[in-house]
Chain A
Amino acid sequence: DQQVKQNSPSLSVQEGRISILNCDYTNSMFDYFLWYKKYPAEGPTFLISISSIKDKNEDGRFTVFLNKSAKHLSLHIVPSQPGDSAVYFCAASVSRLGGSQGNLIFGKGTKLSVKP
Protein backbone atom coordinates (compact mmCIF):
# COMPACT_ATOMS: atom_id res chain seq x y z
CA ASP A 1 0.00 0.00 0.00
CA GLN A 2 1.33 3.40 -0.94
CA GLN A 3 2.37 5.45 2.06
CA VAL A 4 2.99 8.59 0.00
CA LYS A 5 0.48 9.46 -2.67
CA GLN A 6 0.53 12.02 -5.42
CA ASN A 7 -2.91 11.65 -6.91
CA SER A 8 -2.44 13.97 -9.86
CA PRO A 9 -0.14 12.44 -12.50
CA SER A 10 -0.02 15.75 -14.36
CA LEU A 11 -0.71 19.44 -13.98
CA SER A 12 -0.76 22.20 -16.58
CA VAL A 13 -0.39 25.85 -15.58
CA GLN A 14 0.02 29.14 -17.43
CA GLU A 15 3.28 31.01 -17.02
CA GLY A 16 3.09 33.56 -14.20
CA ARG A 17 0.29 31.77 -12.37
CA ILE A 18 0.55 29.63 -9.24
CA SER A 19 1.30 25.92 -9.44
CA ILE A 20 0.06 23.80 -6.56
CA LEU A 21 1.28 20.22 -6.29
CA ASN A 22 -0.31 18.01 -3.69
CA CYS A 23 0.87 15.04 -1.68
CA ASP A 24 -0.93 12.87 0.87
CA TYR A 25 0.59 10.40 3.28
CA THR A 26 -0.77 7.64 5.48
CA ASN A 27 2.02 7.03 8.00
CA SER A 28 1.60 9.37 10.97
CA MET A 29 5.19 8.60 12.02
CA PHE A 30 6.63 10.53 9.07
CA ASP A 31 8.42 13.57 10.46
CA TYR A 32 10.45 14.89 7.54
CA PHE A 33 9.18 15.71 4.07
CA LEU A 34 10.97 16.70 0.90
CA TRP A 35 10.21 17.69 -2.67
CA TYR A 36 12.44 16.70 -5.56
CA LYS A 37 12.35 17.96 -9.12
CA LYS A 38 13.32 15.82 -12.07
CA TYR A 39 14.00 16.79 -15.67
CA PRO A 40 14.01 14.11 -18.38
CA ALA A 41 17.30 12.19 -18.67
CA GLU A 42 18.55 13.66 -15.38
CA GLY A 43 18.49 12.53 -11.77
CA PRO A 44 16.08 14.13 -9.27
CA THR A 45 17.39 17.22 -7.51
CA PHE A 46 16.42 18.38 -4.04
CA LEU A 47 14.05 21.34 -4.04
CA ILE A 48 12.73 22.04 -0.56
CA SER A 49 12.02 20.24 2.70
CA ILE A 50 9.99 20.65 5.85
CA SER A 51 10.15 19.15 9.30
CA SER A 52 6.98 18.06 11.06
CA ILE A 53 7.54 20.72 13.72
CA LYS A 54 6.77 23.37 11.12
CA ASP A 55 3.75 24.01 8.93
CA LYS A 56 5.42 26.16 6.30
CA ASN A 57 8.81 26.54 4.70
CA GLU A 58 9.63 29.06 2.02
CA ASP A 59 12.53 29.34 -0.39
CA GLY A 60 12.18 31.97 -3.06
CA ARG A 61 9.34 31.07 -5.40
CA PHE A 62 8.81 27.73 -3.66
CA THR A 63 6.75 27.20 -0.51
CA VAL A 64 5.86 23.91 1.11
CA PHE A 65 2.87 23.69 3.43
CA LEU A 66 2.32 20.83 5.86
CA ASN A 67 -1.05 19.97 7.38
CA LYS A 68 -0.34 17.19 9.86
CA SER A 69 -3.93 16.64 10.91
CA ALA A 70 -4.92 16.03 7.30
CA LYS A 71 -1.66 14.20 6.51
CA HIS A 72 -1.26 16.45 3.53
CA LEU A 73 1.47 18.62 2.11
CA SER A 74 1.57 20.87 -0.87
CA LEU A 75 4.20 22.65 -2.93
CA HIS A 76 3.35 26.11 -4.22
CA ILE A 77 5.36 27.68 -7.03
CA VAL A 78 4.72 31.38 -7.55
CA PRO A 79 5.10 32.65 -10.20
CA SER A 80 5.41 29.57 -12.36
CA GLN A 81 8.00 29.67 -15.14
CA PRO A 82 8.44 27.44 -18.22
CA GLY A 83 11.72 26.18 -16.71
CA ASP A 84 9.70 24.72 -13.84
CA SER A 85 8.26 22.12 -16.22
CA ALA A 86 9.43 18.82 -14.75
CA VAL A 87 8.27 15.85 -12.71
CA TYR A 88 7.96 16.64 -9.00
CA PHE A 89 8.32 13.90 -6.40
CA CYS A 90 7.14 14.16 -2.83
CA ALA A 91 9.06 12.09 -0.27
CA ALA A 92 8.82 11.37 3.46
CA SER A 93 10.86 9.69 6.16
CA VAL A 94 10.73 8.67 9.81
CA SER A 95 13.36 9.49 12.41
CA ARG A 96 14.80 6.41 14.06
CA LEU A 97 15.97 5.84 17.59
CA GLY A 98 19.59 6.91 17.86
CA GLY A 99 19.12 9.83 15.49
CA SER A 100 19.39 8.18 12.11
CA GLN A 101 16.78 8.75 9.45
CA GLY A 102 14.77 6.04 7.77
CA ASN A 103 14.72 5.58 4.03
CA LEU A 104 12.81 8.11 1.99
CA ILE A 105 9.44 6.91 0.73
CA PHE A 106 8.60 8.53 -2.61
CA GLY A 107 5.31 9.33 -4.28
CA LYS A 108 4.85 8.46 -7.95
CA GLY A 109 5.37 12.02 -9.09
CA THR A 110 3.39 14.79 -10.77
CA LYS A 111 4.40 16.08 -14.18
CA LEU A 112 4.11 19.86 -14.23
CA SER A 113 3.85 21.68 -17.55
CA VAL A 114 4.12 25.46 -17.48
CA LYS A 115 2.91 26.99 -20.72
CA PRO A 116 4.29 30.31 -21.99
Chain B
Amino acid sequence: DVKVTQSSRYLVKRTGEKVFLECVQDMDHENMFWYRQDPGLGLRLIYFSYDVKMKEKGDIPEGYSVSREKKERFSLILESASTNQTSMYLCASSLLAGANYGYTFGSGTRLTVV
Protein backbone atom coordinates (compact mmCIF):
# COMPACT_ATOMS: atom_id res chain seq x y z
CA ASP B 1 0.00 0.00 0.00
CA VAL B 2 1.08 3.52 -0.75
CA LYS B 3 1.90 5.51 2.28
CA VAL B 4 1.86 9.28 2.45
CA THR B 5 3.43 10.58 5.62
CA GLN B 6 3.06 14.11 6.94
CA SER B 7 5.68 15.03 9.47
CA SER B 8 3.41 16.59 12.08
CA ARG B 9 -0.17 15.89 13.15
CA TYR B 10 -0.54 19.12 15.14
CA LEU B 11 1.40 22.37 14.98
CA VAL B 12 1.02 25.68 16.77
CA LYS B 13 2.93 28.63 15.32
CA ARG B 14 3.05 32.34 15.93
CA THR B 15 1.97 34.99 13.46
CA GLY B 16 4.86 35.95 11.19
CA GLU B 17 6.78 32.70 11.63
CA LYS B 18 8.02 30.77 8.62
CA VAL B 19 6.39 27.33 8.69
CA PHE B 20 7.46 24.17 6.90
CA LEU B 21 5.07 21.26 6.37
CA GLU B 22 6.73 18.12 5.09
CA CYS B 23 5.20 15.27 3.10
CA VAL B 24 6.85 12.04 1.97
CA GLN B 25 5.39 9.25 -0.18
CA ASP B 26 6.95 5.83 -0.68
CA MET B 27 5.55 4.51 -3.95
CA ASP B 28 7.33 6.52 -6.61
CA HIS B 29 4.27 8.59 -7.50
CA GLU B 30 4.83 11.37 -9.99
CA ASN B 31 2.13 13.71 -8.71
CA MET B 32 2.02 15.36 -5.32
CA PHE B 33 -0.51 17.86 -3.98
CA TRP B 34 -1.13 20.16 -1.06
CA TYR B 35 -4.70 20.95 0.03
CA ARG B 36 -6.25 22.75 2.91
CA GLN B 37 -9.59 21.75 4.35
CA ASP B 38 -11.88 24.24 6.08
CA PRO B 39 -15.48 23.77 7.24
CA GLY B 40 -17.94 24.58 4.48
CA LEU B 41 -15.19 25.11 1.92
CA GLY B 42 -14.18 21.52 1.24
CA LEU B 43 -10.72 20.68 -0.11
CA ARG B 44 -8.95 23.58 -1.75
CA LEU B 45 -5.83 22.98 -3.83
CA ILE B 46 -2.85 25.11 -2.86
CA TYR B 47 -0.04 23.78 -5.05
CA PHE B 48 0.80 20.63 -6.95
CA SER B 49 3.78 19.09 -8.67
CA TYR B 50 4.11 16.63 -11.57
CA ASP B 51 7.82 16.05 -11.23
CA VAL B 52 10.96 16.94 -9.33
CA LYS B 53 11.62 20.68 -9.25
CA MET B 54 8.27 21.25 -10.89
CA LYS B 55 5.42 23.15 -9.27
CA GLU B 56 2.09 24.53 -10.34
CA LYS B 57 -0.24 26.92 -8.54
CA GLY B 58 -3.56 25.60 -7.44
CA ASP B 59 -6.64 27.59 -6.52
CA ILE B 60 -5.30 29.38 -3.44
CA PRO B 61 -1.50 29.74 -3.67
CA GLU B 62 -1.24 33.17 -2.05
CA GLY B 63 0.89 33.15 1.08
CA TYR B 64 2.35 29.72 0.29
CA SER B 65 5.27 28.28 -1.62
CA VAL B 66 6.43 24.71 -2.23
CA SER B 67 9.57 22.75 -2.83
CA ARG B 68 10.12 19.41 -4.54
CA GLU B 69 13.82 18.57 -4.59
CA LYS B 70 13.26 14.81 -4.55
CA LYS B 71 10.48 12.77 -6.10
CA GLU B 72 9.26 11.40 -2.80
CA ARG B 73 9.17 14.67 -0.87
CA PHE B 74 6.93 17.71 -1.28
CA SER B 75 7.19 20.57 1.18
CA LEU B 76 4.69 23.35 1.79
CA ILE B 77 6.07 26.63 3.12
CA LEU B 78 4.13 29.39 4.78
CA GLU B 79 6.41 32.36 4.26
CA SER B 80 4.90 34.44 7.08
CA ALA B 81 2.15 32.62 8.91
CA SER B 82 -1.10 34.46 9.50
CA THR B 83 -4.15 33.54 11.57
CA ASN B 84 -6.23 32.96 8.42
CA GLN B 85 -3.88 30.11 7.58
CA THR B 86 -5.12 28.16 10.58
CA SER B 87 -6.47 25.03 8.91
CA MET B 88 -6.12 21.31 8.29
CA TYR B 89 -3.43 20.74 5.65
CA LEU B 90 -3.54 17.57 3.58
CA CYS B 91 -0.86 16.17 1.31
CA ALA B 92 -1.71 13.68 -1.43
CA SER B 93 0.10 11.75 -4.13
CA SER B 94 -0.92 9.87 -7.27
CA LEU B 95 0.39 8.22 -10.37
CA LEU B 96 0.26 10.25 -13.55
CA ALA B 97 -2.08 7.71 -15.08
CA GLY B 98 -3.54 4.30 -14.44
CA ALA B 99 -6.65 2.20 -14.52
CA ASN B 100 -7.37 2.94 -10.88
CA TYR B 101 -6.36 6.56 -10.82
CA GLY B 102 -6.87 8.29 -7.53
CA TYR B 103 -5.13 10.13 -4.76
CA THR B 104 -3.64 8.74 -1.58
CA PHE B 105 -3.80 11.24 1.24
CA GLY B 106 -1.69 11.68 4.31
CA SER B 107 -3.25 11.93 7.75
CA GLY B 108 -3.17 15.70 7.74
CA THR B 109 -1.53 18.44 9.78
CA ARG B 110 -3.75 20.59 11.95
CA LEU B 111 -2.01 23.98 11.98
CA THR B 112 -3.01 26.69 14.41
CA VAL B 113 -1.53 30.17 13.99
CA VAL B 114 -1.79 32.35 17.06
Contact = CB atoms under 8 A, between A and B. Distances in A.
Interface of A: 9, 32, 34, 36, 38, 41-46, 49, 89, 93, 99-101, 103-104, 106-109
Contacts of A109: 42-43
B: interface residue count bin:
20 to 34
B104 A46 contact: yes
Contacts of B100: 49
Nearest to B100: A49
Contacts of B33: 103
B106 A101 contact: no
B97 A99 contact: yes
Given A41-B107, A43-B90, 12 more contacts: A9-B40, A34-B102, A41-B110, A42-B107, A45-B105, A46-B102, A99-B97, A101-B94, A101-B97, A108-B40, A108-B42, A109-B43
21 contacts: A34-B102, A36-B105, A41-B9, A41-B88, A43-B4, A43-B90, A43-B92, A43-B107, A44-B43, A44-B105, A46-B102, A89-B42, A89-B43, A93-B101, A101-B94, A103-B45, A104-B103, A106-B42, A108-B40, A108-B42, A109-B43
B105 A101 contact: no
Identify which of A9, A49, A99, A106 gathers the most chain B CB atoms within 10 Å of its CB.
A106
B42 A107 contact: yes
A99 B96 CA distance: 9
Nearest to B58: A103
The 10 closest A-B pairs by CB, nearest first: A43-B105, A108-B42, A101-B101, A100-B97, A106-B43, A100-B96, A99-B97, A44-B105, A43-B107, A43-B108
